[in-house]
Chain A
Amino acid sequence: MTAPPNALSEAPGGSAASLGDLVSQPYRYGFVTDIETEKIAKGLDEDVVRLISAKKKEPAFLLDFRLRAFRHWQKLEEPDWATLKYPKIDYQNIIYYAAPKQQQDKKASLDEVDPKLLETFEKLGIPLSEQKRLSNVAVDAVFDSVSIATTYKEKLAEDGVIFCSFTEAVEEHPELIERYLGTVVPSNDNYFAALNSAVFSDGSFVLIPKGVACPMDLSTYFRINSGDTGQFERTLIVAEEGASVSYLEGCTAPMFDTNQLHAAVVELVALDDASIKYSTVQNWYAGDENGKGGIYNFVTKRGQCRGERSHISWTQVETGSAITWKYPSCVLQGADSVGEFYSVALTNHRQQADTGSKMIHVGPRTRSTIVSKGISAGHSSNSYRGLVQMGPKAVGARNFSQCDSMLIGDQAAANTYPYIRSQQPDAAIEHEASTCRISEDQLFYLQSRGIGFEEAVSMMVSGFCRDVFNQLPMEFAAEADKLLALKLEGSVG
């Protein structure tokens, strides 16, 4: 189903104009931290891949993994099937590794971390120091290509939970990395996953041991600081039998008028009766109102419900990036496993998002739910693209998908591309879709009860997103609500 751009009538009272103003609002995380950075030269070849691996003193299996990925990547073409328009990316004009000088060697303890870095994260609302750190969330802070600090590591270790940067995991638990890396998203999975596999620099690793419910939420905060550097991080989360964890991800970047490439890979593995809840609030710099600058966000996220009765749930609130290309997916392999995808994607100005999910039902009686809410304002384009696949053994499997689009203004576009493939007659697939727009009469109704224009829009937008916000962890839900209100805040004409 494709919804044509729909018009909010250009009223004499200027409502359409004020709606336009309303969704334009300055980006609050656009500052650059002035810090000495060690960067390698621009460009990508096998030597660069070897250099990154050498810098990290990686074991041979990891260098092999990178080289195989790189050689495969060289044979691939950048995909062009998404509803996205952007100039060709020059992969030789990107720096593939940038780290704050002081962080070059082994990761320092928190006291040794450059105060400028701590200050940066504090400014972003993620204080890391003992005294100020968040009390209920453990944080791994990633700055450009490296992780600078991870909080509560020791406390989590008491329960056997491993939460550390990817680099540390490679040093301390190489056998776990070797066992799980690339098993959910193979290095040859797609163009951007192959690129990531070749040059990834850091990220987070989580292992929740058998039977443990992680005692606090875990979180990684990604910050891009350099203007000419790509960020390629990798997250790997393993929940062993009966384990459970809630993981949050946040991201911001400074305002540059060039584009930065962010190509991440996230792999989740859930064994029997394990449960992983992965939530993202993505607020990369989106470019200015004319589409200059902003992050190109090409991300491969996939979870594998490997065990029986396992459960993986993706919740994402996508508000940033110039380009978003992202399809968090679940491979439902274990019998009776459950996959969920809840998404809010807000695009404004010239932003483009092509996002959705894939639910691959392999095992019997597997169940999945997709709830996607797209909000398009300005001249933006917002597409839902999703695949529901029922394999031959998926007896009694069920899927429910709901894709709703909301249009603000008369220049925005919303598209829905649902793909359904079923090889199992005894599987049920339901798909619902709707398109609406904020009408002048609805706004007037709320206004005529004393509710200001901005609050009225924000009430309607958060009402539209409620089903998804309800899935977010509490502290994140409030943040997401605020973030949307912020994005929709501005001068009322």
Chain B
Amino acid sequence: MILPDAELLLQIVDLHARVDDQPILKGVNLEIRAGEIHAVMGRNGSGKSTLSKVLAGHPSYRVTGGSVLFRGEDLLALPPEQRARIGVFLGFQYPVEIPGVSNLEFLRVATNARRLERGEEELDTFSFEDLVHERLQVVQMDPAFLARSVNEGFSGGEKKRNEILQMALLEPLLAILDETDSGLDIDALRIVAGGVNHLATAANATLLITHYQRLLDVITPDFVHVMAAGRILRTGGKELALELEQRGYDWVDQELADQELANQGAPALGVV
């Protein structure tokens, strides 16, 4: 929901980033306020996933320019764990398996790290069990998954549910969901999206990264951004996603080509 006077949670200004000396982000600008749901769309290689990894602090991605403020604080100066503790959450496209580490224990340690940061008391094993069983409802997850190792042997859909369960426990202010819809059948998609909708409030914001309209059929965005060649090329309302669905991404190439020409100082085609 778009609210007047809502708190500015995230402010990205002219962000540049590289992986292995390959520039991927080339000047991203984005502002997200509390209560809003944003969707970033674009083709493979457009930089959408990189944007999510950079915001979460993945060590393989190097920021080479620009700034990111989270509630006025320099997010890029913080280690990944601190970003999580102050309320930035990344839902992974491919959650890794961590053999030997109990899912329940992992969820408890993570939840407590966030609680401590918020000045709340740590939960002991018993109170945490109560909380986690309540939050399991959000994603209709079988409690048996708590007793297993983190993501080990989970199906694609179970892994994604486990991601949303973590989100439900950590109660982030900004949830970045990277291709959460990939690999989900229609029922799983409904459950996961239902969870996301359930968790969205006027105090937090969601940034969806996706290829497809089908996720946006179940989670309605306030803003849609189209990303290409490491920048946000165009921003609109939910109708922009529908337009993409109908027209495909070809027009994006055309627009990019036009901009390139313009940048080189030559008049763009069709401009007198």
CB distance from A342 to the nearest CB of B (A): 15
Of B56, B62, B96, which one neighbours A442 at CB under 8 angstroms? B96
Q: Is A11 an interface residue (CB 8 A)?
A: yes
- CB contacts (< 8 Å) of B57 on chain A: these are 447-448
- CB contacts (< 8 Å) of B102 on chain A: these are 463
CB-nearest residue of chain B to A456: B81
Q: Is B27 an interface residue (CB 8 A)?
A: no
Of A11, A15, A449, A465, which one neighbours B166 at CB under 8 angstroms? A449
Contact between A463 and B84, CB atoms less than 8 A apart: no
Contact between B59 and A15, CB atoms less than 8 A apart: yes
Contact between A450 and B60, CB atoms less than 8 A apart: no
Of B81, B100, B117, which one neighbours A464 at CB under 8 angstroms? B100
CB distance from A445 to the nearest CB of B (A): 5
| Distance in angstroms between the alpha carbons of A13 and B80 in the assembled complex | 11
| Distance in angstroms between the alpha carbons of A450 and B106 in the assembled complex | 10
CB distance from B17 to the nearest CB of A (A): 11
Contact between A11 and B59, CB atoms less than 8 A apart: yes
Of B60, B90, B117, which one neighbours A12 at CB under 8 angstroms? B60
A-B pair count, CB < 8 Å, reads 91
Of B84, B92, B114, B166, which one neighbours A447 at CB under 8 angstroms? B84
Residues facing B in A429-459 (CB within 8 A) are 436, 439-442, 444-453, 455-456, 459
Q: Is A466 an interface residue (CB 8 A)?
A: yes
Contact between B98 and A463, CB atoms less than 8 A apart: yes
- CB contacts (< 8 Å) of B92 on chain A: these are 445
Residues facing A in B78-97 (CB within 8 A) are 79-81, 83-85, 89-90, 92, 95-96
Q: Is B149 an interface residue (CB 8 A)?
A: yes
Contact between A463 and B81, CB atoms less than 8 A apart: no
| Residues of B within 8 A of A (CB-CB), count | 34
- CB contacts (< 8 Å) of A15 on chain B: these are 59
CB-nearest residue of chain A to B102: A463
13 A-B interface contacts by CB (under 8 A) = A13-B60, A13-B61, A14-B59, A444-B80, A445-B92, A446-B110, A447-B57, A448-B83, A449-B110, A451-B113, A452-B81, A453-B81, A463-B98
Kindly list 17 other residue pairs between chains A and B, CB separation below 8 angstroms, not including A450-B113, A460-B100, A466-B100.
A12-B62, A13-B59, A436-B99, A439-B96, A441-B96, A445-B92, A447-B81, A448-B83, A448-B89, A448-B90, A449-B113, A450-B81, A450-B84, A452-B113, A455-B109, A463-B100, A465-B100
| Distance in angstroms between the alpha carbons of A450 and B108 in the assembled complex | 11
Q: Is B58 an interface residue (CB 8 A)?
A: yes
| Distance in angstroms between the alpha carbons of A251 and B137 in the assembled complex | 50
Q: Is B261 an interface residue (CB 8 A)?
A: no
- CB contacts (< 8 Å) of A9 on chain B: these are 60
Q: Rank and list the top 10 A-B pairs by shortest CB-CB distance, nearest first.
A: A13-B59, A463-B100, A450-B113, A449-B110, A450-B84, A463-B101, A447-B80, A450-B85, A447-B81, A15-B59
Contact between B81 and A445, CB atoms less than 8 A apart: no
CB distance from B180 to the nearest CB of A (A): 15
CB distance from A492 to the nearest CB of B (A): 8
Residues facing A in B161-204 (CB within 8 A) are 166, 170
Of B79, B149, B170, which one neighbours A449 at CB under 8 angstroms? B170
- CB contacts (< 8 Å) of A453 on chain B: these are 79, 81
| Distance in angstroms between the alpha carbons of A102 and B203 in the assembled complex | 73
- CB contacts (< 8 Å) of A452 on chain B: these are 81, 113
Residues facing A in B110-146 (CB within 8 A) are 110, 113-114, 117
Given contacts A449-B84, A450-B117, A463-B99, contact A444 B58 (CB under 8 A): yes
| Distance in angstroms between the alpha carbons of A13 and B149 in the assembled complex | 27
CB-nearest residue of chain A to B82: A450
Of B58, B59, B101, which one neighbours A459 at CB under 8 angstroms? B101
| Distance in angstroms between the alpha carbons of A429 and B228 in the assembled complex | 58
Of A439, A440, A447, A459, which one neighbours B106 at CB under 8 angstroms? A459
Of A444, A446, A450, which one neighbours B59 at CB under 8 angstroms? A444
| Distance in angstroms between the alpha carbons of A11 and B80 in the assembled complex | 15
| Distance in angstroms between the alpha carbons of A367 and B37 in the assembled complex | 61
- CB contacts (< 8 Å) of A460 on chain B: these are 98, 100-101
CB-nearest residue of chain B to A16: B59
- CB contacts (< 8 Å) of A11 on chain B: these are 59-60
Given contacts A12-B62, A13-B62, A463-B102, contact A448 B56 (CB under 8 A): yes
Q: CB-defined interface of A314-328 with B at 8 Å, one 1/0 digit per residue? A: 000000000000000
Of B58, B89, B110, which one neighbours A451 at CB under 8 angstroms? B110
CB-nearest residue of chain B to A441: B96
| Distance in angstroms between the alpha carbons of A463 and B84 in the assembled complex | 22
Residues facing B in A454-486 (CB within 8 A) are 455-456, 459-460, 462-466
Given contacts A449-B166, A463-B102, contact A440 B59 (CB under 8 A): yes
